[in-house]
Amino acid sequence: QAYKKLAVKYHPDKNPDNKEMAEENFKKVSEAYEVLSNSEKRQTYDTVGKAGLGGGGGMPGGNFSQADAEAMFSQVFGGQDPFSVLFGEMGG
């Protein structure tokens, strides 16, 4: 019901004086509805946030940067080199 109400409110045809703003808000409302109505997308959003929905090639997390990866590895491996943690220190 909330989606329908907002979709009508922000539909560009209902806002001829400010179509650009209405179109932008309509897209946001539609995107939110798409996420909330799909349990898999909702789980991804709850876990990773909006960046997880950007998807590159259909994969969640397509907008994942090097800084994001480093922060995640730092959390998981306590700031240590993940390869030394997983495979042990190799001499030389």
Q: Where are the domains of the chain?
A: 2-86
Please write the tens of the pLDDT for every residue from 13-72. 888 999 899 999 999 998 889 888 889 888 888 888 888 777 543 444 455 566 666 666
CATH 1.20.120 fits 2-86, yes or no: no
pTM summary value: 0.52
| Per-residue pLDDT at 85 exceeds 60 | no
Over its C-alpha atoms, the chain yields an Rg (Å, rounded) of: 20
Amino acid identity, position 31: E
Handedness of CA 87, 89, 91, 92 (dihedral sign): positive
